Homo-oligomer: A and B are copies of this chain.
């Protein structure tokens, strides 16, 4: 059907070898035949068959990304932005991006193993790391290229990009106290997620440094959804002595908490402070605009992707392990009045 290199060779009256070498700029082919080959290939609409090229070069030029989804209504703006960051960078380098969606667990691991064993990808981007991360253990065990977004507990002898969310949450705690909110609660995700630990630790440190503390009764665990944040915030607000500040560990849960506070008729930013983490685009446009910790998700995606490609190509990485300093974004949900930075 399609035009193959053999067809081109026949047409120019040269061997397949010569055509291939002409097209790849080898210098053992005369200027004359090179231009002829190029012309004919162009005319015939020759496009190399990627599969054949990849088989021969023993490389897939493909990156793998397994998105950890929870339930069908997977709808985390965080991931679409991260995906765009990876995807665009991958395209720049001529790599394909193979995406699959699996909830953490057996099927997820199966997706990784299958991709590795049947040689579908050259490397992985591992996202949302966990305390003891089976994906990373596996990939490290077989020495398969990957770069993680996030760290793990224990040995950190693999390449990653992470934000210093411990520091971010420390700043956030201090900000909350400074704004005059003293009964402070936190909604954290399942503690198996690595960033949960960092954010919670940082939050505790920040409170301690500002002379406060996080009481056990004010610590709630939830999934990372709005619904989860809503439910846990409702529990908190129904207590005898409800908190006057709720720090959620991501923006989505903060949105849920805001809704709960609204329903209780609380003036957010005055009677209660609510904070998030991530600074997804929506947080600026929420009512009220959300105080949160900025995470340059798109850039991180690009960075991770670039590191992975270098890794695959055996190029040395100038920085194997990147930790970014976060910055606070202060908005009305903690009582800060601002003309929003546009």
Tell me if B75 and A120 are in contact (CB < 8 A): no
Tell me if A75 and B81 are in contact (CB < 8 A): yes
* Complex-state Cα separation, A47 to B286, whole angstroms: 50
Tell me if A118 and B47 are in contact (CB < 8 A): yes
* Complex-state Cα separation, A141 to B67, whole angstroms: 34
Residues in B whose Cβ lies below 8 Å from that of A252: 282
Interface size class of A (residues with CB under 8 A): 35 or more
Residues in B whose Cβ lies below 8 Å from that of A262: 287-288
Q: Which residues of chain A from 68 to 90 have any CB-CB distance to chain B below 8 Å in the complex? A: 69, 72-81, 83-85, 87-88, 90
Tell me if A75 and B227 are in contact (CB < 8 A): no
A33 at the interface (CB under 8 A from B): no
A255 at the interface (CB under 8 A from B): yes
Residues in B whose Cβ lies below 8 Å from that of A88: 69, 72, 101
Q: Which residues of chain A from 10 to 67 have any CB-CB distance to chain B below 8 Å in the complex? A: 45, 47-52, 54-55, 60, 67
* Complex-state Cα separation, A47 to B51, whole angstroms: 18
Q: Which 10 A-B pairs have the closest CB atoms?
A: A87-B101, A74-B84, A47-B117, A226-B285, A75-B77, A50-B118, A99-B99, A51-B55, A75-B81, A80-B80
Q: List 12 A-B contacts (CB under 8 A).
A: A48-B118, A50-B119, A69-B84, A69-B88, A73-B81, A91-B101, A91-B102, A96-B98, A226-B282, A227-B281, A259-B286, A287-B287
Given contacts A72-B298, A98-B99, 11 further A-B contacts (CB under 8 A): A47-B119, A48-B118, A49-B118, A67-B83, A74-B84, A74-B298, A83-B101, A91-B102, A96-B120, A227-B281, A259-B285
